[in-house]
Amino acid sequence: MGDFYNRGGGQLTVSEIAVDTTATLGDGDTEDNMLAFDGNTVDYRIGLDDGTDRLEFGVGTTHGTTTAFVITPEAQISVEDAFATNIGGSFGTFSSSDTTPSVATGNLWKTHASGQTLTTFDDGLTGQTVTVISTAAVVFDCTSTNLKAGSADITTAAGDVTVWTFDGTNWYLIQFMDVSADMSSVGGGGGATNDDSNLILHMQMFA
């Protein structure tokens, strides 16, 4: 096993670690705690920023700078310079009775296999985009909620797809695919060509 060094330059040699041992950094005081990796040209860190109560993963040894991503007290992962999220390589499923399902753990979702009305998505992060695949008759209440998609509610059928983006307050509909529509040309209606300028996707765009 390699040796460990503290910041003062002293050497800490670990000769034995039990399988059930817990290593604790910090003593509960109001202070930052950090595990720093001292590289030849680039340093990295994993540490608790006590000022924000977030666990940071970043470049360098200064909290709050060149941060790649953090784990928040709400058990969410926030990517600082670009947004990315995943649900263990699969999709999430909304429950049948939840009208405001949480999207904290991913960006690809299917509705419950029964009719339901959705009024918003809980636990979103600013800049997050979610894709929702309807598996039944699902109504998106867009007239008096934080779902913004024009002047009327949207009723989807099984197989329809909606895509929403969050600005920190509201979810805005940016794409809606009607699975029953003819999507072989722009705007539907058939007559597709091999022209690359044609989008082989029928989308309704909402400002």
For residue range 134-179, what is the model confidence (pLDDT) as tens digits? 999 999 999 999 999 999 999 999 999 999 999 999 999 999 999 9
- How many Å apart are CA 151 and CA 99, to the nearest integer? 20
H or E element at residue 5: strand 4-5
Residue bearing tokens 């985009």: 129
- Assigned fold of 92-177: Jelly Rolls (2.60.120)
The pLDDT value given to residue 30: 87
User: Is residue 207 very low, low, confident or very high in pLDDT (cuts 50, 70, 90)?
Assistant: very low
For residue range 10-27, what is the model confidence (pLDDT) as tens digits? 555 555 556 567 777 778
> For the chain, which residues make up each domain, given as ranges?
4-79, 92-177
The pLDDT value given to residue 23: 74
- How many Å apart are CA 164 and CA 147, to the nearest integer? 9
Pair of tokens at residue 129: 């985009």
Share of the chain above pLDDT 70, in %: 74
The DSSP symbol for 78 reads E
Cα distance from N-terminal residue to C-terminal residue, the chain: 59
For residue range 25-52, what is the model confidence (pLDDT) as tens digits? 778 888 888 898 989 999 999 999 998 9
Q: Give residues with Cβ within 8 angstroms of 133, minimum separation 6.
A: 91, 108, 109, 110, 111, 159, 160, 161
The pLDDT value given to residue 106: 83
- How many Å apart are CA 181 and CA 159, to the nearest integer? 11
The pLDDT value given to residue 141: 97
Exposed, middle or buried by CB within 10 Å (0-12, 13-18, 19+), for 28? exposed
Longest alpha-carbon distance in the chain? 75
pTM: 0.57
Pair of tokens at residue 46: 């994993």
Pair of tokens at residue 5: 């060094």
- How many Å apart are CA 65 and CA 78, to the nearest integer? 15
- How many Å apart are CA 171 and CA 163, to the nearest integer? 10
